[in-house]
Structure 1
Amino acid sequence: MKKIMLIIAMLMLVGCSSPKGNDAKVEETNKAEATTATDDKVYKVGILQFAQHGSLDNCRTGVIEGLKEAGFEEGKNLEIDYQNAQADMGINSQIADSFVSNKYDMIISIATPSAMAAYNAAMNTDIPVIYTAVTDPVEAQLATEDGKSVGNITGTSDVLPVDAQLKLIREMLPDAKNVGILHTSSEANSDSMLATYKEIAPKYNFEIVDEAINTTSDIPLATDNILTKVDVMTNLLDNTVVNSLPQILDKANAKKIPIYGSEIEQVRIGCIGSEGIEYISLGNQTGKMAAKVLKGEAKASEMPFETILEPNLYLNKKVADNLGVTLSDALTGRATELFEEISAPEAK
């Protein structure tokens, strides 16, 4: 009898332990499937670009390249919804809101107005915002004075090397006195850079003459007005102004007044020179920052914004010849790129 009871007890013990073993195997299988599902995830990213011009287009190209180099590629594990606000603040906000409504995994914003709109739209969500081509993240209230993020947002700054630009202008135009700057009164990045120009200009015996605009329609009259007061003009990273640069160049060329650009594309299409940044590289840097966040290697809120510290010298010999400006061997020798022709802006 004791033997029978012992056998029954053993059978009951085996029966109780068996499901636990099965549960453990099921749990391990589920974990493996979850890992596979995560690895196979297609990340949905919204790219919000404020305006259509060469520097911001290059930024977008660089962002996509940077993401790809870090393992995120369209058609494989990345789905990109690219939207352009065409420099319209209302459309800009609508696009940002739509990205949040669609619960994208990330918003990448190109230019200051788009970064501000994206952050405002995503502020109460867990959607990270990565920006690029934001001249002054502190002035735009996207970062604190020490460079830290104000929330779930980070990115790269295209702050201008103003001192280097003014030094270049003085080297090329020793007799120039008044430097003209067109700027959009509602763009935080323009206000910040204009203040920097005014602060540094006396070091090179320049006076800054500025003319504010509100919309693209203000450009023709503002350009005509400022050209009567200046010897030379220089561009900020002002999206509304850069969007109308071909029109501004036409008017300045007619009066033989040189215009200096803020980056390579502006020199390519007719500015005489620039101590500026190269936007594909800036975008690439941004794409790699975005990849770290998508991989979970870092949180946007924990990443200080980054900048490209060394400017590049770009010169356009054709423009210089047309304006009667001599490019010294020293200048052409250190130029990152010397353009021999003027290229029309690409049709978009």
Structure 2
Amino acid sequence: MKRLFLSIGIILAILVGAFFGASHSNNEATSQKKIPTIGILQFLTHPALDAIHRGMVDELAKEGYVDGKTIHIDFQNAQGNQSNLKSMATKFDNENADLSVGIATPAAQVLANTVNGKVLFAPSTNPVAAGLVTNLEHPGNHVTGVSDQAPLKEQLALIKKFVPHLRTLGIIYTSSDISATTEAKAMTKLATKAGLKTKIYTIAQSNDLAQVAQTMAHNQDIDAVFVPTDNTIASSMPVLLQATDSAKMPVFPTASTMVQAGGIAAVSINQYQIGVTTGKMIAKILHGQTINDTPVEFMKKGELVINVKAAQKLGIHIPADSLKQAAAIKGGLIK
């Protein structure tokens, strides 16, 4: 009889141990599931896009979402390769990421067409034309984000101020880039309305830039060049500037990083702040706010950035008030 009771006791002990072991495993699994996974897909490596990424991660940490502790961030960089974009977006979908973020329009477009879950763009200049949303106030479906539409009126005024004899404005952009195309067309309209002539040059890919830039630089009618928010040209600024600098043709881009690379000046949207704004939006959605109730946010205020060395190299006079304005902004003067 004692043996029978002993056997029963051993069996009960095993069953209790198994129960608590399974319960502990389930608790661990439940705990792990509670940590949100954010997939971040960056189009390519470039200072502007890197700054957006940093701003996003920093703001998430301030909101209490620290990578590796209270959140898991799966960061992928496609390096401008379309097949990489697709495979990385599929990875996010397979791991059921709570939210996926596309840094730059091409990344966001692939995510929107691949991932079944929530998607943010950070940024997209014209999200409607890019097919990301149909309504800016009530995006619907599963996509919203931040727009970086450059302050083009201020940019044109800046170019005219730095180049008083401006008569013809050259505009160069990547035809397959929705954001770049949107801004290029808008600037063309503004310039025409201001009584200026425009000369338009487009490239299909980065390999086209050297030849097209040389063709543009040989056009002696062009007094200055405008470059919109264009990831392809931004990543190849030295190629563009090699042609324009030799022709003493000043280039005015929209991004501060492109000014740092040798452009003359820009009224630039702060790329890091785009990331911060996106980080705040991510936090709201993780807290329960729905995509449909999260309107597209616009970065409206630009900051003056001047490359003093580049201006001096081309003999461009920097107006005293512009110099003072840029000096008052952190990183506003590049020497």
Tell me, yes or no, if structure 1 residue 242 matches structure 2 residue 234: yes
CA contact (8 A) 1:152 1:300 kept: yes
Q: Secondary structure at the match of 1:42?
A: coil
Query: Once the two structures are superposed, what CA deviation does each residue of 1:123-155 show, in whole Å capped at 9, x if it has no partner?
Result: xx3x11111121111111222254431421111
Task: Tell me which stretches of 4 or more aligned residues in structure 1 moved more than 6 Å.
Answer: none
Q: CA deviation at 1:299?
A: 1.2
1:193-342 equivalences under 5 Å are 193-229=183-219, 230-296=222-288, 298-335=289-326, 336=329, 337-341=331-335
Change (3 A) 1:92 1:86: same
Pairs within 5 Å for 1:168-183: 168-183=158-173
Aligned with 1:71: secondary structure? coil
Which residue is 1:43 aligned to? 36
Give 1:74's aligned amino acid.
D
CA contact (8 A) 1:141 1:150 kept: no
RMSD: 2.0
Aligned length, in residue pairs: 305
Taking structure 1 as the reference length, the TM-score comes to: 0.83
Identity %: 28
Distance in 2 (CA, whole Å) between partners of 1:322 and 1:258 is 10
Give secondary structure in 1 for the equivalent of 2:199: strand
Report SS of the residue matched to 2:107: helix
The answer for the alignment partner of 2:77 in structure 1 is 84
Q: 2 CA distance for matches of 1:115 and 1:147?
A: 18
> How big is each residue's C-alpha offset from its partner over 1:284-336, in whole Å with a ceiling of 9 and x where there is no partner?
0001101111122x012321110111111111111111111111211112223
Unmatched segments (≥5 aa) in structure 2: 1-22
- Gapped runs of 5+ residues in structure 1? 1-29, 342-348
Counterpart contact for 2:140–2:291, Cα < 8 Å: no
Residue number among 63, 68, 74 corresponding to 1:75 in the alignment: 68
Q: Partner amino acid for 1:326? A: H
Tell me the amino acid that sits aligned with residue 79 of structure 2.
Answer: Q
Structure 2 residue matching 1:290: 3-state secondary structure: helix
Equivalent residues of 1:142, 1:150 under 8 A apart: no
The one-character-per-residue Cα deviations of 1:74-127 (angstroms, maximum 9, x if unpaired) are 1211221211111222222221122112211111110111111101112xx3x1
Letter in 2 for 1:320: A
Whole-angstrom CA distance in 1 between matches of 2:135 and 2:195: 30
- Contact 2:269–2:302 under 8 Å retained in 1: yes
